[in-house]
A and B are shown apart, each in its own frame.
Chain A
Amino acid sequence: MTVNGARQSADVEPRLLLVHFLRETLGLTGTHVGCDTSNCGACTVHLNGEAVKSCTLLAVQADGAEVKTIEGMGQEGALHPLQEAFWEHHGLQCGYCTPGMIMASADLLQRNPKPNEHEVREALAGNLCRCTGYHNIVKAVLAASES
């Protein structure tokens, strides 16, 4: 598969989850595990341009796919507008949900570049956060959609 623009190949067990392949095989530890039932979304990455929960995909299912993780967001030295907005609007505290939250938000803005507050909240309902109360995350996503 291609991960953040770089070709990667490995022999893996069929049961290996994509999230573990990213974290443990490739060392991309920005993608996190927050649950075991596919609810929390901390593991959200992009698979062929769409947000997916990487704990609920086998690595082998991503064979040949384009995968993007939080480490692939933004250019060298220049943050992605969502990263800037989360920072500026205090859209994170412990930072554990943040990578998944940013990937889910990026997916939303690709589909809907000018969402309203309700649409942002609906789009992020698959991503749990225990610190921020969502308020500043919603503000950050709306701000990023303006930039």
Chain B
Amino acid sequence: MTIGFGSTRRKEDARFIRGQGHYVDDVQLPGMLHGAVLRSPVAHARIVSIDTAAALQHPKVHAVITGADLGEQAWMPTMSADVQAVLATDKVRFQGQEVAFVVADDGYSARDALALIDVEYDPLPAVVDVRLALEPDAPVIRDDQPGRIDNHIFDWEAGDAAATAAIFARDDVVVIEQEMQFPRSHPAPMETCGAVADFDRVSEKLTVWCTTQAPHAHRTLYSLVSGLPEHRIRVISPDVGGGFGNKVPVYPGYICAIAAARMLGRPVKWMEDRSENLMSTGFARDFVMRGRMAATPEGKLLAVAVDVIADHGAFNATAQPSRYPAGFFSVFTGSYDVAAAHCAVTGVYTNKAPGGVAYACSFRIAEAVYLVERCVDCMAGELGLDPVELRLANLIRPDQFPYESKTGWVYDSGNYEAALLKALEIADYAGLRAEQAEKRSRGELMGIGLSFFTEAVGAGPRKHMDMFGLGMNDGAAIRISPSGTAQLSISVQTQGQGHETTFAQIVSAELGIATDDVDVIHGDTDTTPYGLGTYGSRSTPVSGAAAALAARKVRDRARIVAAAMLEVAAEDLEWTTGRWAVKGDPSQGASIAEIAVASRGPIELPLGIEAGLDAEAVYDPPNLTFPFGAYICVVDVDPGTAHVKVRRFIAVDDCGVRINPMIVEGQIHGGLTDGVGMALMEMIAFDEDGNCLGASLMDYLIPTAVEVPDWETGFTVTPSPHHPIGAKGIGESATVGSPPAIVNAICDALGVRHIDMPCTPSRVWDAMRSKGRPAQ
């Protein structure tokens, strides 16, 4: 029997290792039909005509739906207050865009019928390079918006422009400036997106099984789009085969399946294939950043500034808090105490798929951390300092927390130096530098890269953060059975992060009930409290807090019941794990199980106290949590082939209190692998006509077991002072923190100032040649 925190093995594994998980494509319903999407072969074109007659003649086809058939539902609202075409009506705006939806008896027939639809396109020039998208003669992509004359979406800034400019203007400072791209990548969860929609015409109730990280938010959006009231929509997110931010937005395929199910009165399944996933669902990153940093010649960092052009694709569908069009990018001052900072971000439409916030970015913090950690290394090079020394001299000190950054974030807690020293110790940093010097003397290219990052996760305080007007709070509800076991319903949705285990551990720690006796219910909007879902590493900070507070309500109720049972005043009782006992006489007490049965028995309770111990909490976090980490990467670059091998990677993370260290480590391992993918292999590229060049796993390369090393992890514990159990989020830290460590290591190996990701052999080769290194 296990109680509370610790590395217990996972409850959910029992079904997954036997092939008994239940994912969306495993759903089979009587009479279920299968949908398939016809997609645009071109990036930008006016639609002249769509002829569906031949497809409708197909003996197994039940419907062919076009934008015209959807009427007002041909466009849907996005989470960034823009609209997105469900099925193209006037023109197509990216390659892979949804044009028509075929419903047939089976998936093979549905795809056969796609080939029978004849669409005539009138091609338009494609806008591909975001840096050219605002040129006066650039074609206007969103001519659906009345009065629009360009491709500009938004300008947003943070920090103090004047104070920052004043520092850069001083003649006693050293300034570096570096342009860098964080290229477009894709979360590419192993399970693609899909849905099964089922509409009961008698009860007028819609049930949608779908791959969503935010089932309640999806329900609200489905209601807005379909006109059905929310209480007649049930969204079920079953087991989800990875999300990584890809499964937050609402995609046209879901809406098409819902529309088809209502039209035909039969369940309709839609499952996209990998190419569709990569081409049309939420991409990540795609920031062109010009960073500047100022420091004293001795190495005191003074100011950071950055201008960003953000490529959002053809529709602004980025899923993020509505008042943060560039997410939380303004944490770009990172882990350093600077005097001034300023950022300006311009969002731009291009003829590409929508997205932006995804792939464990914590709302653009991946971009922010990359910017500042690259700039610090550029500055170290400029000043001739070791990147470790420069960081140690500028990290925010423990006594400065809570620390208010120059862009307005209040970091909750941190002991940065301790984490960095621990990483240096695990790595044997001095030994590594000695090894490097020795290898250099023999012409070998070894690089050592650092990254020290501060995350900001757990969105968020209702006052500042909302998604389409809904404050970013989350709930938890506990029901205690008369025999003392518990069911915890949560509003967040695991996609593999282990919530079924860790949330049981939170309740277990608070109430002393064995984790095996706590079942966690999630993903069904009919049976779980409302909340905004799992992304931005917000489950532990928000819903985890709600679970602890709900459990404390149970405990408070249990105290009152125990007082009645023991015929003492509640104030005379004290809690020791799992039991209320009389102060000074621990033999007089009642366990939570005894209290649970008594709470529903014939006991006389004080006036106003209801039977049972059930409780619910909705948590409005007072602040985000700010986990941090110190990462060190060691690479070897083959001078003959320019192939980069990540030989070692040391990751020291601090996420405050660790509910389940085994699961925390697993999250870090996965995120570090994302970092290797982004730094070395992954890119969704386009040619000048807007053809997507990364639309399958043949071209969009993700790391295998061979490309990554055994991960070396360490940790420190600096609890979040405002969180009920002192826990911070962790899920995205490694994805956010690792890319700059790898790129810094490659630059260190080659002796170059900067190289853009992905550092493929051809790019590294070019960088080596630019240094005048002879090919060997």
Contacts and interface: CB of A to CB of B under 8 A. Distances in A.
Interface string B427-460: 0000000000000000000000000000000000
Nearest to B671: A133
A111 interface: no
Given A95-B21, A124-B705, A134-B708, A32 B673 contact: no
Contacts of B665: 90
Contact of B670 (A23, A28, A93, A99): A93
Nearest to B242: A94
B222 to A, nearest CB: 24
B19 A121 contact: no
Contacts of A117: 710
A130 to B, nearest CB: 5
Contacts of B241: 32, 34, 94-96
Nearest to B189: A130
B28 A69 contact: no
Interface in A16-43: 16, 20, 23, 27-37, 39-40, 42
B191 A32 contact: yes
A109 interface: no
A71 interface: yes
A74 interface: yes
Given A30-B19, A95-B16, A124-B704, A132 B697 contact: no
Interface stretch (A46-54, A56-64, A135-143): A135-143
Interface string A111-147: 0000001001110111111111111111000000000
A39 B10 CA distance: 28
Given A37-B697, A134-B673, A92 B13 contact: yes
B662 to A, nearest CB: 5
Nearest to B276: A36
B19 A70 contact: yes
Interface stretch (B492-500, B683-691, B757-765): B492-500
A78 B496 CA distance: 24
Contacts of A7: none
Given A87-B10, A90-B9, A32 B23 contact: yes
Nearest to A70: B19
Contacts, number: 179
Contacts of A127: 704-705
A54 B314 CA distance: 37
A98 B13 CA distance: 10
B244 interface: yes
Nearest to A139: B710
A121 B17 contact: no
A83 B698 contact: no
Given A102-B17, A120-B705, A95 B672 contact: no
Contacts of A92: 13, 16-17, 496
B25 interface: yes
Interface string B690-715: 00000011100011111010110000
B80 interface: no
B18 interface: yes
B108 A15 contact: yes
Interface residues of B, number: 60
Contacts of A96: 21, 23, 189-191, 241-242, 496
A132 B670 contact: yes
Contact of B697 (A30, A35, A87): A35
Nearest to B13: A87
Given A35-B696, A96-B241, A128 B190 contact: yes
A35 B276 CA distance: 10
Contacts of B243: 94
B325 to A, nearest CB: 28
B184 to A, nearest CB: 18
Contacts of A90: 9-10, 662-663, 665-666
Nearest to A33: B25
Contacts of A11: none
A95 B496 contact: yes
B239 interface: yes
A138 B19 contact: no
B37 interface: no
Given A90-B662, A133-B711, A125 B190 contact: no
B487 interface: no
Nearest to A100: B190
A107 to B, nearest CB: 15
Contacts of A42: 190
Interface in A71-108: 71, 73-74, 79, 83, 86-88, 90, 92-99, 102
B210 interface: no
B13 A121 contact: no
Contacts of A133: 666, 668-673, 708, 711
Contact of A94 (B14, B15, B496, B705): B496
A73 B241 CA distance: 21
Nearest to B241: A96
Interface in B300-322: none
Contacts of A94: 189-191, 239-243, 495-496
Contacts of A125: 704-706
B670 A130 contact: yes
A87 B17 contact: yes
B485 interface: no
Contact of B18 (A35, A74, A121, A134): A74
- The 4 A-B pairs at the shortest CB distance, nearest first, are namely A30-B19, A94-B496, A95-B16, A96-B241
Interface of A: 13, 15-16, 20, 23, 27-37, 39-40, 42, 69-71, 73-74, 79, 83, 86-88, 90, 92-99, 102, 117, 120-122, 124-138
25 contacts: A23-B26, A30-B19, A32-B191, A32-B241, A36-B275, A37-B274, A37-B698, A40-B190, A71-B18, A90-B10, A90-B662, A94-B189, A94-B241, A95-B241, A95-B496, A96-B191, A96-B241, A117-B710, A122-B705, A127-B705, A130-B189, A132-B673, A133-B668, A133-B711, A134-B669
